[in-house]
Amino acid sequence: MTRVLLVLFSCLLFINGCSVDPEITNTEWYDPEEYYAGGATTLFEATSAAFSTPAPNLILPDLEKHFEGDLTFEATFVTAPATNNAGLGPIYNNVSCVSCHILDGRGDKPSVFRISIPGTNPFNGPNPVPGMGDQLQDKAIIGELAEGSVEIIYTEVFYSLPDGTPFSLRKPDYTIINTYIPIPAKTMLSVRAAPPVFGLGLLEAIPESSILSLVDEFDHDGDGISGKANYVYDHNSGTHVLGRFGWKANQPNLHQQTSAAFNGDMGITSPMFSSESSEGQIQNDGLPDDPEIDFNFIEVTSFYTKTLAVPAPRNLDDKTVKLGKQLFFEIGCENCHTQKWQTGNITEIQAISNQTIFPYTDMLLHDMGEQLADNRPDYLASGSEWKTRPLWGIGLTQLANGHTYFLHDARARNLFEAIMWHGGEAEECKNNFANLSATERAALVSFLEAL
């Protein structure tokens, strides 16, 4: 009964959302099509469920598969032996996907800690720390030792804009502490907060050729923007392919991203990653129960993230929002936050096939400067390069997730701070924003809040 009601609810949202006020006059900075940020997957409902509703154009079999994936995404794992969802740990960071991606949205604090030492692994990826691997698990099941923890100390740093307006940024300092064994002095640490998971199927459906057409690694056009592709190891094909997901585009597709998250975040083995994250360590349980989840479990979980609705923007016809959008383009934000894409023909999921979408990302790596650098390479991504984050739905973060913390480690407490942390290739754009009048800066933020 619940699923039937949800199906009807989704269909009604789709029908109701397909009408934009015909009295609104189109202008250079107002495009009614942009209300359909996720094409036909768009959800016209600004509520706390904005990030966690199925795409309204799913056919019934796909909708049923989506709901099956919803259950696995929310499944809480426990230690073995158990009747359901056994296999947690022995070391882990959290007990379920939704524990970090609350309501399928953005985390308000760091939850994953990538670690490595200089050099690369056999696949040209990060070189694991002996006795710890490439992710620090800060929790353990009863009777086992966590690998360690991360101490975070924030320092308030004060600045002023060119017009004299004061502001401050909180600068994080991270220290690995309480490790169960000594760690190498050159251990590198990258701290991550959970990103939203809606719209990911659409991003996976963008043709590779379209993404690569924006690559300008050596800035041949002289605009100061050097979009770069990451090439990462695909465990299914055994080759290096374009990276699309993760803060440094270090995962090639959602199946591998999901499998890696179960293994690294929860200590759950699957067909792709069938060895415990604690293999070779004193915490390893030695139980003959691997893999602990099967291919279908991964498949439906990744399908769930592929088929979540994208929330529609709001108030795009508002005078202030239109001004903010104009400024967004004029000061250079769109050079990395590419507004519009067309997805390819995805026969297995028609809902995300051939859609015009407005995610505001180029899917490429950019040098974001010293202040945002984690100084930890990841495949071809340097220690200061990050993948451009999509901006769709960003204005609903407070409503859906109850906070406004942004960037890879949630250091920014609002959108203004997130902009002011930009550096490197985005330094000029940030300075352009800082040099705007107070009214113009507020308008640009209003535009982001409308997305």
Would you give per-residue pLDDT tens digits along the chain (451 residues)? 344 344 444 444 443 434 333 333 446 899 999 999 999 999 999 999 999 999 999 999 999 999 999 999 999 999 999 999 999 999 999 999 999 999 999 999 999 999 999 999 999 999 999 999 999 999 999 999 999 999 999 999 999 999 999 999 999 999 999 999 999 999 999 999 999 999 999 999 999 999 999 999 999 999 999 999 999 999 999 999 999 999 999 999 999 999 999 999 999 999 999 999 999 999 999 899 999 999 999 999 999 999 999 999 999 999 999 999 999 999 999 999 999 999 999 999 999 999 999 999 999 999 999 999 999 999 999 999 999 999 999 999 999 999 999 999 999 999 999 999 999 999 999 999 999 999 999 999 999 999 9
Angle at 90 between CA 87 and CA 94, to 5 degrees: 80
Residue 133 β-bridge partners = 129
Residue 79 and residue 140: Cα distance in Å, rounded?
10
User: Domain range for residue 36?
Assistant: 2-60+307-450
Closest CA to 38 of 200, 196, 194: 200
* CA diameter of the chain: 68
Within a domain: residue 359?
yes
Total of domains in the chain: 1
Question: Does residue 269 sit within a domain?
Answer: no
Taking the C-alpha atoms of residue 374 and residue 384, their distance in angstroms, rounded to an integer, is: 6
Per-residue b/e over 48-62, b at no fewer than 16 CB within 10 Å? ebbbbbbbbbbeeeb
Q: How many CB atoms lie within 10 A of CB 413?
A: 17
Report DSSP letters for 358-372, one per residue: -------EEE--TTT
CA 375 → CA 116, 117, 154, 322, 344, distances in Å?
Answer: 11, 11, 19, 38, 35
Please check whether residue 414 lies inside any domain of the structure.
yes
Query: Which DSSP string do the residues of 383-435 spell out, in sequence order?
Result: TTEEEPPP-TTGGGHHHHHS---BSTTS-BSSHHHHHHT--GGGHHHHHHHHT
Question: Which one, of 375, 339, 364, 366, lies nearest residue 33 by Cα?
Answer: 339
- Judge whether 87 lies within some domain: no
Place of tokens 């929330």: 311
Assigned domain for 279 exists: no
- Residue 233 in any domain: the answer is no
Show Cβ contacts of residue 53 under 8 Å, excluding neighbours closer than 6 positions.
10, 13, 43, 45, 308, 309
Q: Is residue 34 part of a domain?
A: yes
